[in-house]
Structure 1
Amino acid sequence: MKKRNFSMTEYWNSKAEVHVPLLSFGRHDNTDWRLWQQKAREKLIALLGELPAKVPLEPEVVYSVQEDDIIRERVIFDVEENMSIPCFVLRPQSMPATKKNPAIICCNGHPAHLGKDPVAGMRCEDEHCEAIRQMNYDYGLQMAKKGYLTIIPELRGFGERRDGIDPFPGRDACNVNFIKGALFGCYMLGLNVWDIMRTVDYLETRAEVDPKRIGMMGLSYGGTMTAFTTAVEPRIAAADVMGYINPWSEFAVKRANFCGIQLLPEIYKYFETHDIAGLIAPRPLLLEMGIYDDCFYIQDQLASSEQVKTIYDAAGSGDRFWRDIHAGGHRFAGNKAFDFFEKYL
């Protein structure tokens, strides 16, 4: 009797075993780096979905307070019609407004209800403190203490932009928002990329910021955001992606360890995650990978990082590709990040 399959899990896994993305570097006829980058970036921008029209930022500093030697500002600006973004801006109290300084956009990951707060060093709740302890999560504050102006934006679907802790009881809010956006032809990942591009616009208005020295960093979904945004936004000069670059076939297809906010329709048809990271070349890129990461497994991250290295070598910028393989889990290690940004910003 013929063996037949009824399992959707087996169906997707078997497809992933033989799938080769159409625009993956080095596959099919995608071997010329410059031609590949141009073609791949154009396709990625198209996959982001319909992006909003620009509106004036109309930024507002809600408050500015000094905490030890750090100035903390709550800033709000408009990213599109009928949508604004709240952020924390941190800077050393000694930073002169008359001198152009480097800035870093620091993006958060899950859990979604905590949002930007722990990355900005807010310890209002026990959950904030625990997240900071477990993931060394206050890298927005840490980088400010190292002399950078940092901005920690609230991503759509997180924190203040989540519509409460549990806006759709019994449902994953990331998935619900993805489906709602798909009805309109726009997607949460693309909209968050747009918001970070508008965040760059805002940073360019700040007297303290050198627009040629803007970096980006993030853990988990923050790493997703850092990879995708830097791939399409040339104004970001250097990027630190923590705990993200690994094969779609493993974390997404086989383990279903993802949500609607992390993907774009047809993304795996054309790209692997290492291709997204490779689009950052020749700009400097740091990948942080924990050997005990239980979200994105180390063997998968290492395999993908080799593919990223191949792209950087093809771009003639292998020396600008850094790896921090650390003895930790899903967290900010900080072993190389400070030296990385000091060198490249």
Structure 2
Amino acid sequence: MEWNPDEYLRKLYETRSQTLDFKAKTADQWKEWRTELREKFVDALGGFGDMYSKPEATVIERVEYDDYIRERIELRTADSLVMPTYLLLPKGRQGKLPVVVGCHGHGYGSKSAVGLLPDGSEANDDPNVHRKFGIALVRRGFAVVIPELIGFGDRKLENEAVVNRDSNSCFPISVYLMMLGKTTAGIRIQETMAAIGYAAEREELDASRIGIFGLSGGGLVAAFTAALDERIRAAVVSCYTNTFLDSILYRRHCIDNYIPGILRYAEMPDLVGLIAPRPLFIEAGQRDELFPLHGTEKAIARLQQIYGVADAAEGLDYHLFPGGHEICGDRSYAWLERQLQVQS
């Protein structure tokens, strides 16, 4: 029916002026492109600078298991903003520990990544798309930092914690921030940077060996934090890397995925490509309906182009596993061990 706006929206996308989509042919052109796109990206996220780079920290819980220790820490990331964060520390390791910052996706927050249920009790064999990835990584010798992303778990809005206990506060937080020229993605990225700042100050952790791992919405945070923070040496992005057109513009997604005006500058693979030349691993389920395989394949092709021009083709790897929207880890965990030089 001609009254439907489908064709109008399609033409808007096709005729958009992406002023910073990747066209570089030389290393110098790539460097200029990276600098300019980073500046535009930070502006679209709502700008940075209003959060603490070195947050105030208070340890509020310490639990010992046979092979690792779990701490829960409050990080004051800005005036009136406190982020609970888990730190998992392996036992029996010598020297400073390599660090992985773990970014959970949608669900009940950071507890899902450390083997806990929403009430804080042990999950045991509870199935979850996060696959207790924090525990899997600490048992491989990493210190694992898992922030509670704003809007999830214990960081929902106060009234939503009562009336919306089984969901999240992404929508009301996001629209509030957008009306003020900010974004949920921008806040989450800045807070993740603050968590990195905290990890870099811990004596037992190696600030020169910091990686990041994120699933789905946490994959957004992992990818874009790595794109903008050079302290991250290696990044694993699980079940997120795609094109905006084939994923969040194709079907209904949580509003926290949307960055106003970003398509004036570039598509998602260009933004993820800002990580280059540092190592990047893409993990994606072949049956992922939220971030479909064909979009992931387009993104990988663009990333291969970017990494090639950056003379870092060997730094890009991927695993398209036979699963859905979930962490796999079959190749990504070992890849992180190699990149961050975990001692056996």
Deviation larger for 116-125 or 80-89: 116-125
1:170-200 per-residue CA deviation (whole Å, 9 max, x = no partner) reads x983222111112222211101111011001
Partner SS for 1:228: helix
Determine which of 331, 334, 337 is the counterpart of 2:326: 331
Offset at residue 238 of structure 1 (A): 0.4
Whether the 8 Å CA contact 1:55–1:78 is kept in 2: the answer is no
Residues 184-234 of structure 1: CA deviation (Å, up to 9, x unaligned): 222111011110110011001111111110100011001000111110011
**2:150 equivalent in structure 1:** 156
| TM-score under structure 2 length normalisation | 0.90
Which runs of 5 or more residues in structure 2 are unaligned?
none
Paired amino acid for 1:148: F
Per-residue CA deviation, residues 117-165 of structure 1 (Å, 9 max, x unaligned), is 1111214669995996252531111100101000110001111101345
CA change 1:124–1:48 in 2 (3 A) is closer
Seen in structure 2, the aligned counterparts of structure 1 residues 140 and 265 have a Cα distance that, compared at 3 Å, is same
Matches within 5 A, 1:82-121: 82-96=80-94, 99-111=95-107, 114-121=108-115
1:281 matched to which residue of 2? 276
Is 2:18 aligned against 1:21? yes
Counterpart residue number, 1:238? 234
Q: Distance in 2 between matches of 1:90 and 1:165?
A: 26
Whole-Å separation in 2 of the counterparts to 1:239 and 1:59: 25
1:185-264 matches, within 5 Å, as: 185-256=181-252, 258-264=253-259
Query: CA shift at 1:292, angstroms?
Result: 1.0
Distance 1:108-1:318 versus aligned 2 partners, 3 A rule = same
Q: Which amino acid aligns with 2:290?
A: C
> Structure 2: how far apart are the matches of 1:297 and 1:332?
15
Cα deviation digits, residues 85-122 of structure 1 (max 9, x gap): 101111112235xx2210000011112xx111111121
Q: CA separation of 1:128/1:191 partners in 2, compared to 1, >3 Å: closer, same or farther?
A: farther
Cα distance in 1, alignment partners of residues 267 and 331 from structure 2: 25
Structure 1 residues 157 and 30, CA gap change in structure 2 (3 angstroms): farther
Distance 2:93 2:193 in 1: 24
Of 125, 132, 136, the match for 1:138 = 132
Greater Cα shift, 41-50 or 82-91 = 41-50
Equivalent of residue 122 in structure 1, options 116, 124, 147? 116
Q: Distance in 2 between matches of 1:79 and 1:203?
A: 13
After superposition, the Cα gap between the structure-2 partners of 1:56 and 1:208, relative to the gap in structure 1 and judged at 3 Å, is closer
Worse-superposed segment, 16-25 or 331-340: 16-25
Q: Does 1:64 align with 2:62?
A: yes
The 1-side partners of 2:38 and 2:125 are apart by 34
CA contact 2:101–2:146 (8 Å) conserved in 1:
yes
| Structure 1 unaligned regions, length at least 5 | none
Give the 5 Å matches for 1:292-307: 292-307=287-302
Distance, in Å, in 2 between the alignment partners of 1:320 and 1:327 is 23
Change (3 A) 1:219 1:55: closer
Residue 272 of structure 1 and its aligned partner are, at CA, apart by 0.9
2:47 is the alignment partner of 1:50: yes
Is 1:320 aligned to 2:318, yes or no? no
- Change over 3 Å in CA distance of 1:237–1:123 after alignment to 2: same
The offset of 1:53, in angstroms, is 4.0
CA contact (8 A) 2:287 2:325 kept: yes
Residues 78 and 84 in structure 1, CA contact (< 8 A), matched pair in contact too = yes
Paired letter, 2:264: K
Task: Tell me the secondary structure at the aligned position of residue 79 of structure 1.
Answer: strand
Code of the aligned partner of 1:138: K
1:57-96 per-residue CA deviation (whole Å, 9 max, x = no partner) reads: 2211112111221101011111001101101111112235
Check the 8 A contact 2:25/2:309 in 1, yes or no.
no
Aligned-residue offset at 1:332: 1.2
RMSD, aligned CA = 2.7
Hey, what's the Cα distance between the residues in 1 that align with 2:222 and 2:53? 23
Any conservation in 1 of the 2:199–2:207 contact (CA below 8 Å)? yes
SS in 2 for 1:249: coil
- Is the 8 Å Cα contact of residues 24 and 309 (structure 2) preserved in structure 1? no
Name the aligned partner's letter for residue 256 of structure 2: I
